[in-house]
Structure 1
Amino acid sequence: MASPFPGMNPYLEHPDFWVEVHNRLIVAISDVLVPQVRPKYRVAIEKRIYQINQTDGDSGLLLGIPDVTVNRKPNDPDNQESTVAVAPPTEQPTTVTVPIPEQIKQAYLEVRDLVTGQVVTAIEIISPVNKRAGEGRETYVKKRQKIFGSFTHLIEIDLLRQWQPMPLLNNTIQSDYRILISRQERRPQADLYAFNLPQPIPAFPIPLRAGDREPVVDLQALLHQVYDRAGYDYTIDYSLELIPSLSEADTLWVNDLLDELQLR
């Protein structure tokens, strides 16, 4: 069964689903590209590893990882007026949390020249670790800048409404989702496909070497396939509130759609 939404399904942005959706989309894009670019190119699924240090205020929404909690023994009610911190007896220690790094693996695609092995096109699907302020975003932005200074094309797919979008110069376009196509020969100009929740996800080309036929990725069709093959039609509870939340106008639109389809 296909997703009930004509474009991006906002329920797939929930941290319980997003990591799986991300990985399934990477594989789906690879599978659709291979027969279109062979035998001149190879489509490789690569992994990037982030070491994220847990600090105060970090949220479990990073990649669906639960919040780390610190269990503290309640204060003695007889000492409420005291302003002096008293260490507990050594035989009754307080549980604390130390800031160990969290290892996060993120998949992405590279279209490589089969003969030379050179990366012709990099395809990224943005995740919370890329969009949230912190070490993960800084690491990704540095990689992004290296690509912008190279001969590699970049495709950046952002299907997450939450957090700050990736930086662009002189861009005033506001949208829920976006797909960036940065061709190396056109930089600093690039093509931005900006679209909102009620709109279908646009198809986009995969830039290759000059003179080679460019495949077109129908991401909307692939998302419907992922939704069907993963069984999200019976996994997702459409009666629940969305995380992240929607604007008032989008909430009304989603409610009307789900009511019409009798999913609530």
Structure 2
Amino acid sequence: MPSPFPGMNPYLELPALWHEFHNRLIVAISDALTPYLQPKYYVAVETRTYLDDDNPELLVGIPDAIVLTASPTLVAQPTTTATQTRPKQIQLPLPIEVKERYLEVREVGTHQVITVIEVLSPKNKRKGEGRSAYEKKRQRVLGSSSHLVEIDLLRENPPMPMIGVEDTGDYRIVVSRASHRPMADLYEFQMREPIPSFLLPLKPDDPELIVDLQTILLGVYDRGSYDFRINYHQPVPPPKSEVDQQWVDELLAPI
């Protein structure tokens, strides 16, 4: 069964599926672009690594005290009692090493980074080390001669900083051309809409490439067997409105 949603499938946003889907989508975008970029360009799959310590804090309680009768051989007064704590097994929040993949379109021969392609993850958007690390990387790219394509297929948490834009979409794609900064193209779309195709900027003398992200995503959905793995009877990650929830319920009613 193909994905029942016309665009982004919100069930793919579930934590149990997102990490694998993200990795598959990154590789699928690379595979889709490569035949049209050769022989002048190639697509490198890069990895960003950081420590994530934004897990909820664990409250460690005071261990229960027990009263022991003091041994006469160990204390001066046999009637004296002492308290001793009994240790509990607890779990402490530890930083977790997180690896995220992204793409770089590079020029053959010089290996110059022409365009950076990012597919945002929850940790990029959620407040904490992941978002801080990504925002620093984002600023470096925006201050360079490389173009940036930023794909946000997650509805939760605030979008990346944009000036003078009211956030009205569920999802967004930003295309920032180095020669046009600080202006950029914003493709904003809803859960009810197909994912729009966007233009991939390259070197000035080369025409921009049309990227059909919707077709790429549907291919990932099919190859990942998500039609068999997703239980469409479980609640979808919450839509923004009751109207959207009603639309989801009607869409999935026949399944």
TM-score higher than 0.5: yes
Name the aligned partner's letter for residue 202 of structure 2. L
Deviations 1:127-153 (A, max 9, x none): 011100111111110110111111000
Residue of structure 1 in register with 2:245 after alignment: 251
Structure 1 counterpart of 2:112? 118
Higher relative contact order (CA 8 A, sep 6+): 1
**1:21 aligned partner:** 21
Moved beyond 4 Å, runs of 4+: 69-76
The aligned amino acid for 1:112 is R
1:94 match: secondary structure: coil
DSSP-derived class of the 1:100 partner: coil
Which residue of structure 1 aligns with residue 192 of structure 2?
198
More strand by share: 2
One-letter code aligned to 1:183: R
Which moves more between the two structures, 115-124 or 92-101? 92-101
Cα distance in 2 between the residues matched to 1:244 and 1:179: 21
Question: 2:9 matched to which residue of 1?
Answer: 9
**In the alignment, what sits opposite 2:39?**
39
The alpha carbon displacement at 1:54 in A equals: 4.6
Which of 130, 133, 137 does residue 139 from structure 1 map onto? 133
State the match for 1:108 in structure 2.
102
Please identify, of 236-245 and 249-258, the stretch whose mean Cα deviation from structure 2 is larger: 236-245
Q: State TM-score, norm by structure 1.
A: 0.85
Partner of 2:78: none
Q: Is the 8 A contact 2:238 2:245 kept in 1?
A: no
Pairwise CA RMSD of aligned residues? 2.0
CA distance in 1, matches of 2:61, 2:230: 35
Give, in whole Å, the separation in 1 of the partners of 2:191 and 2:159. 15
Cα distance, 1:45 vs structure 2? 0.5
Q: State the shift of 1:72 in Å.
A: 6.7
Residue 20 of structure 2 aligns to which amino acid in structure 1? E
Measured in 1, the distance between the counterparts of 2:180 and 2:249 equals: 42
Note if contact 2:46-2:104 (Cα within 8 Å) is conserved in structure 1: yes
Alignment partner of 1:237 out of 223, 231, 237:
231
Which runs of 5 or more structure 1 residues have no equivalent in the other structure?
A: 58-68, 77-87
Paired amino acid for 1:39: P
Aligned residues: 238
Counterpart-to-counterpart distance in 2, 1:55 and 1:222: 33
Partner residue of 1:156 out of 150, 153, 161? 150
Question: What secondary structure is seen at the aligned counterpart in 2 of 1:234?
Answer: helix
1:178 Cα offset (Å): 0.2
2: CA distance, partners of 1:182 / 1:239: 39
When the two structures are superposed, what TM-score results if normalisation uses the length of structure 2?
Answer: 0.88
Structure 1 position 207 matched with structure 2 position 208: no
Aligned mates of 1:99, 1:239 — CA distance in 2: 33
- The 10-residue stretch of structure 1 (246-255 or 159-168) with the greater mean CA deviation from structure 2: 246-255
Q: Distance in 1 between matches of 2:27 and 2:202?
A: 19
Counterpart AA for 2:17: F
| 2:26 partner amino acid | I
